[in-house]
Amino acid sequence: MSEFNLQDFMKRHCEHGAMCTRLTEELGVLHGLSWADFVLLAELDAGGGNLSTPELAQKLGLSRSRFLLQLLPLEKIGLVERIVGENRSSRIAIRSAGRRLQREAWSTATEVCSAMLA
């Protein structure tokens, strides 16, 4: 990898961080969600509302431990629930409150993204 490619990746990383921060600020003020929480809820909703823990963690690009740390607060406030199967496999399901909040936040996220890309 050339020095130019590395600097390009570093620039993109910083831009990504700035976009995530802006989205977290807007979603937090209006909906009480971080950008990462919004993405988790959106992935669950898009996946039919119920995904295996490893599958959802992989979709989000998170280690299992980091994923569980993100999941706990959402579980405690009733947006998602963990379902443990007979073979101790676990699935994550979006609850009706989580689906409703995610859909309400969708328009906010759309507006913020549009403004940042304009």
- For residue range 9-43, what is the model confidence (pLDDT) as tens digits? 999 999 999 999 999 999 999 999 999 999 999 99
Alpha helices in the chain (DSSP H): 3-31, 35-46, 53-60, 64-76, 96-117
- For residue range 58-93, what is the model confidence (pLDDT) as tens digits? 999 999 899 999 999 999 999 999 998 788 888 999
- 8 to 19, 24, 29, 117: CA distances (angstroms): 17, 24, 32, 19
Range of the domain at 79: 3-117
The number of domains in the chain is 1
Residue 34 sits in a domain of what CATH number? 1.10.10.10
- Distance of alpha carbon 6 from the chain centroid: 27
Q: How high is the pLDDT of residue 86?
A: 80
Q: How high is the pLDDT of residue 117?
A: 87
